[in-house]
Amino acid sequence: MAARRAFTLVELMVTVAVVALLMGILIPSARAMQRESRNAGCLSNLRQDFVAIDSYRQQNGGQVPMCEFLPVVTDAGVDGGLPNAMKGFMPADSPSWLCPGDENEESVATGTSYVYLPGLLRYTPSVQVDVVALIASFDPATMTLAELESVRRQAEARAMTEFFDREAATYPLLIDSEDRHRRVGSERNGVFVDGSARMAELRAPPEPPPGGEVP
């Protein structure tokens, strides 16, 4: 019977080196594939969320929804935010409100990974000055607080609808609340008023000239 030949120390070291080299190649590739998968899932989720927003607009004269830019967690549960505003069109607990790359516990608690920019930009001075002037034109003695709040929301919705329709290619409706997609350029995804989902950047809105509108 022929004697079995054992591995030599050199052969064993070469084998370990080859395995280490392969692992060094495969692990980054696997991570890159995971990032790409999460990125694709995020874009898909944003497109689904846009369907809810678009359905709302079709039933409300083309106006964008008006709500807080992010939900808040209260003792009574999650309050405000786009998922709750859209629950008649998309369940508030739909997985599409969460980015697959989001590992932030706060996002899970609030139910969304995305900032709703119309709910944020409505607080710009140029919008609020017009809103306050409009509310001041009503006699508070003839209106309830709920009616005045409705007037304010409608005025903000009109202003944000005009702004986002005008800046359709620049400002997304929804955008990742954090940098989650490592790549060249922006690390956030967003969905725009035309329904396209792609890389996006948070930019400050243009300042209007005194006494005029944004050109």
Residue 164: inside a domain: yes
Residue 26: inside a domain: no
Residue 131: inside a domain: yes
Domain count, the chain: 1
Q: Which of 99-109 are b and which e, b meaning 16 or more Cβ less than 10 Å from the residue's Cβ?
A: bbbbeeeebee
pLDDT at 77: 84
Render pLDDT for 18-72 as a digit per residue (tens, 0 to 9). 777 766 666 666 566 777 888 999 999 999 999 999 999 999 999 999 999 999 9
Which residue range(s) make up the domain with 195? Answer: 39-66+114-200
Residue 34: inside a domain: no
DSSP codes, 31-84:
HHHHHHHHHHHHHHHHHHHHHHHHHHHHHTTTPPP---SS-EEETTEEE-SHHH
User: Do residues 201 and 169 make contact, with C-beta atoms less than 8 angstroms apart?
Assistant: no
pLDDT at 147: 86
Residue 174: inside a domain: yes
Residue 88 tokens read as 């008649």
User: Do residues 53 and 118 make contact, with C-beta atoms less than 8 angstroms apart?
Assistant: no
pLDDT at 213: 47
Render pLDDT for 116-144 as a digit per residue (tens, 0 to 9). 999 999 998 988 888 888 888 888 778 88
**Nearest C-alpha neighbor of 116 from the set 64, 39, 187:** 64
Residue 152 has pLDDT above 60, yes or no: yes
Distance CA 207, CA 91 (A): 36
Distances (CA, A) of 18 to 12, 15, 27: 10, 5, 14
| Percent of the chain surpassing pLDDT 70 | 82
What confidence category does residue 207 fall into, taking pLDDT thresholds of 50, 70 and 90?
low
User: Do residues 160 and 105 make contact, with C-beta atoms less than 8 angstroms apart?
Assistant: no
The SS3 call for residue 203 is: coil
